[in-house]
């Protein structure tokens, strides 16, 4: 037993068995359970779905049908939590895509130069990623799963959460409720979490919610290409959204050689899930490349839509907001507009933050302290996502307004973005910031600031560049 378990530095403990419950067995929940296993005698992951055999999508994570890139910040976090994980991911066939060399990219009216890669993303399916994490996490005998089970409420009162109320979904006990006591409950039940209502039901406060919604909607469909636009030299294609180009879309490679194609638009002009209209919608992108490719490619799945893309941050960290023994992580704490591809990375970075907060020898890991550490792990991703969405036409929510500091940041960032597609120095640093592997302050270091303030934007290609300028690492 490790020292934290011995000394009882979290929970009520006192010599008896120390239990943790994690609500939700998706990426944030699994990784939180993995960390808690170092501090608890028993960790129970309660999951509404039955876990699938293999890598099929499951109903509890409908977003699993849509593209999931794994950013570099998330890669490092996963590797530090589960050593050797990235090798496993590659061995399972997840494509590792060099940015910007391997992709044809466009933003703000400019094609990106295909400069040598300075950042890599993984673009394999979310189901495969989750399955690999699940296998590693449940190999630990301290962690068990209560599958096919809903959490329907909390036990405890306004000062302390003491467990969860469960309801079985299947089998003889279907519909029956039972209590599961715990010293710590971690809510990792995703963006649709009911924890605010559960907290109110035991007399505690529900958290203040910050929201910012652009009304962005996705449709995604798997295709196998028949022409060579997306071939050995070009792994994928992506047009990013911007206030002047609200339709976005692209194709990202999957582990089996097919591509997951996404098109997106804003409220009132959502992409269709009808087969023919899906292809026609791609004509809204500023170049016919994707539309032409789709016309010839073979569809391997129906199109799936997704509309709940608001940024939502639940401020459990504020004074008086949360009883002891309860913390939230992953999308249940902070959901991002998925177009920026950050949620999985933040789930993993949050698990690292949880590990550090629990292991800190200088401070008792109170609920508030742990919650603050989890929030801090999502701050940069929130700033990126909310900062960009604030400028999108039609954005609504109580986090839409920015202060005077945001006006300077917006001015500087606009200049960064003008240089991003063509300037190697600005491109490298901005990509690292967006990948959550460098802090935002890296954008203000002298080489970047010099380029941003004094150099004009570099020339960029007039047409989608078919090949990389030279091979990167």
Ligand X SMILES: Cc1cc2nc3c(=O)[nH]c(=O)nc-3n(C[C@H](O)[C@H](O)[C@H](O)COP(=O)(O)OP(=O)(O)OC[C@H]3O[C@@H](n4cnc5c(N)ncnc54)[C@H](O)[C@@H]3O)c2cc1C
In terms of CB distance, is 33 or 61 closer to ligand X? 61
Q: From the CB of 391, what's the least distance to ligand X, in Å?
A: 21
SS3 at position 410: helix
Q: From the CB of 421, what's the least distance to ligand X, in Å?
A: 21
Are the C-beta atoms of 249 and 283 separated by less than 8 Å?
Answer: no
Are the C-beta atoms of 122 and 95 separated by less than 8 Å?
Answer: yes
In terms of CB distance, is 198 or 420 closer to ligand X? 198
Q: Which two structure tokens, joined as six digits, stand for 81?
A: 């939590």
* Of residues 288, 254, 267, the one with CA closest to residue 106: 288
Q: What are the distances in angstroms from CA 453 to CA 21, 225, 450? A: 51, 42, 5
SS3 at position 259: strand
Residues near 209 by Cβ (< 8 Å), separated by ≥ 6? 196, 312, 313, 314, 315
In terms of CB distance, is 306 or 382 closer to ligand X? 306
In terms of CB distance, is 68 or 136 closer to ligand X? 68
In terms of CB distance, is 149 or 460 closer to ligand X? 149
Q: How far is 425 from 432, CA to CA, in rounded Å?
A: 11
Q: From the CB of 264, what's the least distance to ligand X, in Å?
A: 9
| Contact set with ligand X (CB under 6 A) | 23-29, 46-49, 60-61, 63, 66-69, 150-151, 188-190, 218, 306, 330-332, 338, 341-345, 347
In terms of CB distance, is 304 or 412 closer to ligand X? 304
* Of residues 448, 470, 454, 432, the one with CA closest to residue 71: 432
Residues near 360 by Cβ (< 8 Å), separated by ≥ 6? none
Q: From the CB of 414, what's the least distance to ligand X, in Å?
A: 25
In terms of CB distance, is 347 or 388 closer to ligand X? 347
Q: Which two structure tokens, joined as six digits, stand for 122?
A: 């993984």
Q: From the CB of 46, what's the least distance to ligand X, in Å?
A: 5
Q: From the CB of 222, what's the least distance to ligand X, in Å?
A: 15
Q: From the CB of 132, what's the least distance to ligand X, in Å?
A: 14
Are the C-beta atoms of 394 and 267 separated by less than 8 Å?
Answer: yes
In terms of CB distance, is 24 or 241 closer to ligand X? 24
Q: From the CB of 444, what's the least distance to ligand X, in Å?
A: 26
Q: What angle do CA 431, 433, 437 make, to 5 degrees?
A: 100
Q: Within 13 Å of residue 379, how many CA atoms lie on the same side as its CB?
A: 12
């Amino acid at each position: 037993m490790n020292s934290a378990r011995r000394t009882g530095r979290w929970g009520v403990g006192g010599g008896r068995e120390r239990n943790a419950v994690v609500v939700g067995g998706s990426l944030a929940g699994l990784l939180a359970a993995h960390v808690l296993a170092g501090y608890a005698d028993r960790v129970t992951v309660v999951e509404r779905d039955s876990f699938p055999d293999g890598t099929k999508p499951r109903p509890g994570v409908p977003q699993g049908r849509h593209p999931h890139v794994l950013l570099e910040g998330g890669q490092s976090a996963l590797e530090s939590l589960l050593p050797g994980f990235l090798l496993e991911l590659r061995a399972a066939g997840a494509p590792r895509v060099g940015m910007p060399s391997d992709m044809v990219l466009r933003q703000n009216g400019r094609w990106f130069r295909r400069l040598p890669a300075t950042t890599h993303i993984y673009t394999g399916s979310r189901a495969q990623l989750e399955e690999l994490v699940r296998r590693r996490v449940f190999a630990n005998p301290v962690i068990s799963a209560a599958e096919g089970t809903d959490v329907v409420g909390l036990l405890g009162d306004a000062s302390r959460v003491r467990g969860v109320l469960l309801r079985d979904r299947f089998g003889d006990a279907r519909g029956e409720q039972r209590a599961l006591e715990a010293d710590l409950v971690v809510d990792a039940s995703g963006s649709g979490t009911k924890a605010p209502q559960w907290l109110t039901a035991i007399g505690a406060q529900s958290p203040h919610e910050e929201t910012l919604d652009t009304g962005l909607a996705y449709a995604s469909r798997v295709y196998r290409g028949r022409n060579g636009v997306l071939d050995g030299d070009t792994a994928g294609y992506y047009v990013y959204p911007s206030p002047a180009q609200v339709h976005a879309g692209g194709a990202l490679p999957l582990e089996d050689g097919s591509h997951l194609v996404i098109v997106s638009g804003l409220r009132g002009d959502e992409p269709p899930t009808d087969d023919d209209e899906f292809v026609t919608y791609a004509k809204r992108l500023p170049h016919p490349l994707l539309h032409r490719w789709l016309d010839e490619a073979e569809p391997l799945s129906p199109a799936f839509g997704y509309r709940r893309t608001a940024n939502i941050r639940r401020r459990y960290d504020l004074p008086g907001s949360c009883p002891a023994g309860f913390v939230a992580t992953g999308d249940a704490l902070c959901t991002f507009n998925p177009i920026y591809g950050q949620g999985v990375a933040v789930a993993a970075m949050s698990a690292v933050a949880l590990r550090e907060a629990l292991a800190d020898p200088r401070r008792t890991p109170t609920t508030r302290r742990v919650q603050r550490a989890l929030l801090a792990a999502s701050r940069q991703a929130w700033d990126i996502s909310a900062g960009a969405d604030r400028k999108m036409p039609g954005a609504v929510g109580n986090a839409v307004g920015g202060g005077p500091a945001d006006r300077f940041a917006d001015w500087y960032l606009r200049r960064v973005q003008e240089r991003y597609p063509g300037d190697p120095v600005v491109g490298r640093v901005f990509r690292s910031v967006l990948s959550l592997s460098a802090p935002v302050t890296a954008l203000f270091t002298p080489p970047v600031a010099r380029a941003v303030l004094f150099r004009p934007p570099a020339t960029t290609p007039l047409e989608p560049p078919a090949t990389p300028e030279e091979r990167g690492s």
